[in-house]
């Protein structure tokens, strides 16, 4: 049976294999192997097999079921699915069944894809290790004593383990790209507004984006082409037409100028094996015809601090809706205020509480300008720095994460060390620009290292071209099981 999404879709559309068989095989892989990894919170076999049967019926009737015909997909559990439990990895939403599908979910299904389950994640997408899930941590398929990254660690692990060929995650400060790096997959964050957020349970609304995981760039490009585009249900959705990216994957690196970001590729915290693999990737790119130059993004020195004011401030506002009144958990008490307090105390985990309190403080009277307002000014400086860098380079590059996957439990008592995992990815979220992580080799212990590529807003075709060019000379990492 084909291993890639495009191979599966081609075989299903031609009638060589049935979508039902493909989906049933994926469900068996999850059943057999996921107990040791924890990448899925739940699967829904009956619903998935029914949808797969509709794909096969379309083929039998001579209709084209779409470019993702029969492809099994994992959905991060922050994406709403009508009638299927969506918890955001939190006890406060345990048992909640949304009344509608997220736009990206509907677009996948319209393209013939079959979502088979909801993947595990840090609670409300807040975390860099997938240890903040209220249900269980996720293990890295390449070394089960280590983290897969977060917050979309379940989606990254499901693809890295070979359970599904593609999955969706969300990325607020690196939550697609950092786990892609640690698990050796491709993970891509689109331009802010390029993919609809309708049906994405919000963490930080000015930063969140949905994007694909895959084992290679071509599969990620195929999924991106399906989910990208304007959606009137999302007020921040960009109305401009989408230029497909799949047609330009063979253009290569020859003639491209790659800007090595000084602040994101050196200094304390970067492991030697990560920098070694990064430099080796750049050498391969030069041999393939790329020009490599140094660029500076000086304001990124403050990006991490700005992010951890902006994101918590927005999350404190967004999560105010989880009050025990309208949906989800309710803990009984003598009055509404006491019920609110008891519900949130029981339903939210420590990391969510930490960020809500930080964000509420940053937005409070007397501190708004000093904290949230100042962080937004830093955000503008970061955007200006990117604009200057793109005058010298087509694509910017850095490691995706300063380290390879760290041990489970290693950083749970040190929030600052955990937050530093996203130091290379956060600037793209603040700027709203597209970025992608691809595998660029393994460290000494066989753990994956990620290469991070960044491009200007709406330059996804260029970004995917560069990523595919690197992949052509670096290869891809095989699934772990």
Q: Which residues are catalytic?
A: 76, 151, 175
Q: Are 111 and 137 in contact (CB under 8 A)?
A: no
Q: Are 132 and 348 in contact (CB under 8 A)?
A: no
Separation in Å, CA 272 to CA 198, 290, 403, 406: 41, 24, 9, 14
Please state the length of the chain.
481
Kindly give the interhelix angle for 19-33 and 45-60, rounded to the nearest 10 degrees: 160
Q: Are 119 and 75 in contact (CB under 8 A)?
A: yes
Q: What is the dihedral of CA 455, 457, 462, 466, to 10 degrees?
A: 20
Instruction: Tell me the C-alpha distance between 329 and 346, whole Å.
Output: 9
Q: Is the peptide bond before 473 cis (omega within 30 degrees of 0)?
A: no
| Displacement of CA 439 from its chain's centroid (Å) | 15
Q: Cα-flanking dihedrals φ and ψ of residue 293, to 5°?
A: -130, 160
Beta bridge partners of 442: 448
User: If DSSP codes are grouped into helix, strand and coil, which group holds residue 395?
Assistant: strand
| Displacement of CA 388 from its chain's centroid (Å) | 27
- What is the DSSP code string of 256-267? -EEEEEGGGSSS
Segment (H or E) for 451 = strand 448-454
- Listed as own residue / partner, the contacts of 382-385 with beta carbons closer than 8 Å and 24 or more positions apart are 382/297, 382/299, 382/300, 382/303, 382/306, 382/427, 382/430, 382/431, 383/430, 383/431, 383/432, 384/299, 385/296, 385/297, 385/298, 385/299, 385/300
Q: Are strands 166-171 and 72-76 parallel, antiparallel or unpaired?
A: parallel
Instruction: Tell me the C-alpha distance between 441 and 286, whole Å.
Output: 17
Instruction: Tell me the C-alpha distance between 35 and 38, whole Å.
Output: 6
């Amino acid at each position: 049976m084909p291993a890639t999404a495009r191979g599966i879709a081609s075989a299903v559309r031609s009638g060589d294999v049935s979508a039902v068989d493909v989906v049933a095989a994926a469900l068996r892989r999850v059943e057999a192997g996921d107990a040791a990894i924890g990448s899925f919170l739940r699967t829904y076999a009956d619903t998935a097999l029914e949808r797969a049967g509709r794909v096969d019926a379309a083929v039998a009737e001579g209709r084209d079921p779409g470019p993702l015909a029969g492809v099994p997909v994992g959905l991060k559990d922050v994406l709403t699915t009508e009638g299927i439990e969506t918890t955001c990895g939190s006890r406060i939403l345990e048992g909640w069944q949304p009344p509608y599908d997220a736009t990206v979910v509907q677009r996948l299904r319209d393209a013939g894809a079959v979502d088979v389950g909801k993947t595990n994640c840090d609670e409300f997408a807040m975390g860099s290790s997938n240890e903040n899930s209220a249900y269980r941590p996720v293990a890295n398929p390449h070394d089960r004593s280590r983290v897969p990254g977060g917050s979309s660690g379940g989606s990254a692990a499901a693809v890295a383990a070979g359970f599904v060929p593609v999955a969706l995650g969300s990325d607020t400060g690196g939550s697609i790209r950092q786990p892609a790096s640690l698990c050796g997959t491709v993970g891509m964050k689109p331009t802010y507004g390029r993919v609809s957020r309708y049906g994405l349970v919000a963490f930080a609304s000015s930063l969140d984006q949905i994007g694909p995981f895959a084992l290679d760039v071509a599969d990620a490009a195929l999924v991106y082409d399906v989910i990208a585009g304007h959606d009137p249900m999302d007020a921040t959705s960009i109305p401009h037409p989408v230029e497909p990216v799949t047609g330009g994957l063979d253009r290569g690196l020859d003639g491209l100028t790659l800007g090595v970001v000084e602040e994101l590729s050196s200094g304390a915290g970067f492991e030697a094996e990560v920098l070694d693999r990064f430099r080796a990737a750049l050498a391969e790119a030069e041999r393939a015809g790329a020009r490599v130059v140094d660029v500076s993004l000086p304001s990124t020195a403050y990006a991490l601090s700005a992010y951890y004011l902006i994101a918590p401030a927005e999350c404190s506002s967004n999560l105010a809706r989880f009050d025990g009144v309208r949906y989800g958990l309710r803990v009984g008490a003598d009055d509404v205020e006491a019920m609110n307090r008891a519900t949130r105390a029981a339903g939210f985990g420590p990391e969510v509480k930490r960020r809500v309190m930080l964000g509420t403080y940053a937005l409070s009277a007397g501190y708004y300008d000093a904290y949230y307002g100042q962080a937004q000014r830093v955000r503008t400086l970061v955007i200006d720095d990117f604009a200057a860098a793109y005058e010298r380079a087509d694509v910017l590059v850095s490691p995706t994460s300063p380290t390879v996957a760290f041990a489970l439990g290693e950083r749970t008592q040190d929030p600052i060390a955990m937050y530093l995992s996203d130091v290379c990815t956060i600037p793209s979220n603040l700027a709203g620009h597209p970025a992608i992580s691809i595998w660029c080799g393994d460290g000494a212990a066989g753990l994956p290292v990620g290469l991070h590529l960044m491009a200007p807003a709406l330059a996804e075709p260029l970004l995917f071209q560069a990523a595919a060019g690197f992949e052509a000379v670096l290869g891809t990492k095989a699934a772990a099981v």
